């Protein structure tokens, strides 16, 4: 790394986000340099295919397909990684950091899976590593957890952090759309990828909440410890019944801290329609943080897209640039274990204590509810409400919607197994947790 009097940047990736970052660095370089206090220059851009036509102002001679042109160049002080994927991104970042190049990344998968190794490499190389865009896009949640909220013990994070999923759920709620139609519409609008698995099955949100929980609780909460359910099993009637009960359905990424441990989960929930998170619609994201001093804080905004993500990436770049300018030592992101307290265990989903919404398809005859109530009662699950919903005279079945008082997850799972085996129950159609 050069002993910088100016900062040379190597950009890895020139797609949706990279295109935005390049145009800020090329078109408004004066402003960026003024913010940093020294000249900031885009030097090289790594892509897969340098012959591709691109709608950017990046000169062709700046493009390269050889990572050595960035990683092996001692004049490049900072690498901005917006390629995505694990390999080769994790390898490139590890090498850049270990050799003293500062790194900004938008890569949630790399940060969630390889964050600790990357911080180790950063310490080894004396480099900064920032990753604001890796969760919540343009919402400054990571910087808040690493800065202004540090005085708090963070008790919980509840977030809507996948815009694709939230768009689909909004369509299902307001248009009564089937999941498959809402997904097709999201794909047409460019909000969902051709293979939507990562978004609709919750993997993307798992990576993001893994990062946020690790920062909030100062201990590693790896993605494999995050419980996950997707949204593809939701049906239009779930939204109708939820609304009748006063709830919206949202996919939440949740992280909690209590004396027994930390918990992290991603799944669709019922949340009161008048709760702020219940009103976050379309591709918008929101993150609610509950801290010991600040109480509840809610950040709301665009979680993806060129502009919002570029805002987060360039914000990190300026932050690191200022540290370089001020000759400050690298900041410790507190990603894992800097609080000085012993890491708490990750709590099992079995121990979750919450309210439940259960939708059953049953035979339309007397005595059905009594059989179901007996099973729930025997397992200590108290019923809060029962709605007999749509009936289907042609096959003499009916839909029964039950909500419970707070109950233990393991008991509810056991009850659903037993209820599902009753002769009068055709199907356990859905089970959702209720957030208040």
Ligand X SMILES: NC(=O)c1ccc[n+]([C@@H]2O[C@H](COP(=O)([O-])OP(=O)(O)OC[C@H]3O[C@@H](n4cnc5c(N)ncnc54)[C@H](OP(=O)(O)O)[C@@H]3O)[C@@H](O)[C@H]2O)c1
Cite the active site residues: 208
Contact status: 253 vs ligand X (CB under 6 A): no
Contact status: 15 vs ligand X (CB under 6 A): yes
Provide, rounded to whole angstroms, the least separation between the CB of residue 177 and ligand X: 24
Q: In terms of CB distance, is 54 or 220 closer to ligand X?
A: 54
21 burial class (0-12, 13-18, 19+ CB within 10 angstroms)? Answer: buried
C-alpha 195/C-alpha 125 separation (Å) is 38
C-alpha 236/C-alpha 231 separation (Å) is 12
Q: Which stretch binds ligand X (CB under 6 A): 79-87, 261-269, 334-342, 394-402?
A: 79-87
386: tokens are 């029962």
Q: Which stretch binds ligand X (CB under 6 A): 104-112, 149-157, 397-405, 424-432?
A: 104-112
Site for ligand X in 347-406 (CB under 6 A): none
Q: In terms of CB distance, is 151 or 195 closer to ligand X?
A: 195
Residue with tokens 């604001």: 132
Provide, rounded to whole angstroms, the least separation between the CB of residue 338 and ligand X: 25
Size of the site for ligand X (CB under 6 A): 23
Q: For residue 146, which of 223, 225, 214 has the smallest C-alpha distance?
A: 214
Provide, rounded to whole angstroms, the least separation between the CB of residue 17 and ligand X: 4
Beta bridge partners, 254, equal: 158, 265
Contact status: 206 vs ligand X (CB under 6 A): no
Contact status: 80 vs ligand X (CB under 6 A): no
Pairing of strands 247-258, 154-160: antiparallel
Provide, rounded to whole angstroms, the least separation between the CB of residue 10 and ligand X: 12
Q: Which stretch binds ligand X (CB under 6 A): 102-110, 187-195, 254-262, 346-354?
A: 102-110
Buried-exposed string 70-90: b where 16+ CB fall within 10 A, e elsewhere: bbebeebbbbbbbbbeeeebb
Contact status: 196 vs ligand X (CB under 6 A): no
Q: Which stretch binds ligand X (CB under 6 A): 83-91, 235-243, 325-333, 342-350?
A: 83-91
Contact status: 17 vs ligand X (CB under 6 A): yes
Among 3, 5, 52, 326, binds ligand X (CB under 6 A): 52
Site for ligand X in 128-147 (CB under 6 A): 133, 137
Among 1, 14, 121, 376, binds ligand X (CB under 6 A): 14
Q: In terms of CB distance, is 19 or 230 closer to ligand X?
A: 19
Contact status: 47 vs ligand X (CB under 6 A): yes
Question: What would the x/- binding string for ligand X be over residues 284 to 313, using CB under 6 A?
Answer: --------------------xx---x----
Q: In terms of CB distance, is 18 or 315 closer to ligand X?
A: 18
Provide, rounded to whole angstroms, the least separation between the CB of residue 309 and ligand X: 4
159: tokens are 């977030």
At how many degrees (to 10) do helices 16-27 and 306-325 cross? 50
Q: In terms of CB distance, is 18 or 263 closer to ligand X?
A: 18
Q: Which stretch binds ligand X (CB under 6 A): 101-109, 254-262, 289-297, 427-435?
A: 101-109
Using CB under 6 A, list all residues that contact ligand X: 13-18, 46-49, 52, 82-84, 88, 106-108, 133, 137, 304-305, 309
């Amino acid at each position: 790394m050069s002993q910088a009097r100016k900062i040379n940047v190597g950009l890895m990736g020139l797609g949706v986000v990279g295109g935005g970052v390049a145009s800020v660095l090329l078109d408004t370089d004066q402003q960026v340099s003024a913010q940093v206090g020294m000249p900031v220059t885009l030097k090289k851009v790594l892509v897969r295919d340098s012959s591709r036509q691109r709608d950017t102002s990046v000169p062709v001679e700046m493009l390269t397909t050889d990572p050595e042109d960035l990683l092996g160049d001692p004049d490049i002080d900072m690498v901005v990684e917006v390629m995505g994927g694990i390999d080769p991104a994790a390898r490139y970042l590890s090498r850049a950091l270990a050799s003293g190049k500062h790194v900004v990344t938008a890569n949630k998968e790399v940060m969630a899976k390889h964050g600790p190794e990357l911080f180790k490499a950063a310490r080894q190389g004396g480099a900064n590593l920032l990753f604001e865009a890796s969760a919540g896009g343009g919402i400054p949640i990571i910087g808040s957890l690493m800065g202004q909220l540090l005085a708090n013990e963070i008790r919980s994070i509840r977030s809507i952090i996948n815009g694709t999923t939230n768009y689909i759920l909004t369509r299902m709620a307001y248009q009564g759309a089937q999941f498959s139609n809402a997904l097709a519409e999201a794909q047409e609008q460019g909000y969902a990828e051709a293979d939507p698995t990562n978004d609709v099955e919750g993997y993307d949100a798992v990576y993001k909440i893994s990062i946020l929980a690790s920062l909030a609780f100062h201990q590693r909460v790896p993605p494999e410890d995050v419980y996950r359910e997707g949204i593809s099993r939701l049906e239009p009637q779930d939204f109708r019944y939820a609304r009748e009960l006063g709830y919206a359905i949202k996919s939440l990424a949740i992280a909690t801290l209590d004396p027994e441990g930390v918990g992290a989960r991603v799944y669709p929930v019922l949340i009161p329609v008048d709760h702020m998170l219940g009103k976050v619609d379309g591709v918008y994201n929101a993150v609610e943080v509950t801290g010991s001093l600040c109480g509840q804080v809610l950040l709301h905004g665009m979680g993806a897209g060129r502009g919002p993500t570029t805002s987060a990436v360039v914000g990190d770049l300026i932050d690191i640039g200022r540290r370089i300018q001020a000759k400050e030592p690298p900041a410790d992101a507190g990603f894992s274990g800097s609080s000085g307290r012993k890491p708490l265990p990750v709590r099992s989903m079995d121990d979750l204590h919450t309210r439940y919404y259960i939708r059953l398809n049953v035979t339309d005859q007397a005595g059905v509810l009594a059989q179901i109530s007996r099973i729930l009662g025997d397992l200590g699950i108290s019923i809060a409400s029962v709605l007999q919903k749509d009936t289907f005279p042609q096959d003499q079945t009916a839909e029964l919607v039950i909500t419970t008082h707070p109950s233990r997850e393991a008991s509810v799972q056991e009850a659903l197994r037993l209820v599902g085996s009753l002769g009068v129950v055709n199907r356990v159609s859905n089970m959702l947790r209720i957030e208040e």
